[in-house]
Amino acid sequence: MSDQPAITVEHVTKRFGTFTAVNDITFSVAPAETFGLLGPNGAGKSSLIRMITTVLPLTSGQITVCGHDVVLFPDRARLAIGVVPQALTTDTELTVEENLDIYAKLYGVARCARHSAINELLAMVGLTDRRRAQVGTLSGGLRRRVEIARGLVHCPNILFLDEPTTGLDPVSRVDVWEMLGRIQRERQVTIFLTTHYMEEADELCDRIAIIDHGRLITLDTPQRLKTSIPGGENISLNDVFVYYTGRGLREEEASDPQSPGKQQVRPR
């Protein structure tokens, strides 16, 4: 495995007019690491991820993906990236296999390699016996498996997962966690995860970054984050989130993230 970071973000800033969405953020992600990005709504997560995945131009700074500068070599960076969006976007009228085949073609996977690649992915996500099932007939948990397989169809080095278990029941959520762990171990893929489920971040992530108001607030392993704040034993990752941002997840989701005059509060 290469010692080169999977992702480097160096002094990255993104402005929209006079509004600074991402403010001088620096961090790196190691190969085969599962890295979590947490933050309240409106904290800058989406803007940062869109810059890393070459969708949004940088105002300043530098981002590399597998050594490729995303500004100078965006096509090379894109080939190293697989993206699984929060919304279910597979074609419900097509079969599982047809969905994967279309994306393999779009990514330029050679005809001779497509069949074996799809077979391997179907086995990995436990959908071999559903390959000819119409996607629209599948449960939410099984559709999420199709989405993840689709994100891996071109063998990317890095898989971006945006809220991968949103809308799933607890059993399906744990199934997805176990599947992601298996994929990470077998393929040594780097996973970049955003989630509003603190137990999910705690379970899956090697390290977690918390951002707020466009700035990187803290970055460490889940265990070290939990021991970094006062409160004794039984500190949860949600406690850490509230400590550093001053907001609980339910409160943040129920509020308007763009409302004027919202002030950052950090308990000490």
DSSP-assigned letters across all residues of 50-104:
HHHTTSS--SEEEEEETTEETTT-HHHHHHTEEEE-SS--S-TTSBHHHHHHHHH
pTM score, two decimals? 0.87
- At 261 the pLDDT is 37
- At 267 the pLDDT is 37
20 part of a folded domain: no
- At 2 the pLDDT is 66
102 part of a folded domain: yes
- At 149 the pLDDT is 95
The number of distinct structural domains making up the chain is: 1
17 part of a folded domain: no
- At 110 the pLDDT is 92
Number of residues in the chain: 268
99 part of a folded domain: yes
**What is the arrangement of strands in the sheet containing 7-16, beginning at the earlier edge strand?**
19-29, 7-16, 60-65, 68-69
Q: Could you say which residues of the chain have pLDDT below 50?
A: 249-268
- At 3 the pLDDT is 78
* Domain interval for residue 110: 81-155
- At 12 the pLDDT is 98
The Cα–Cα gap between 268 and 259 comes to 25
- At 1 the pLDDT is 57
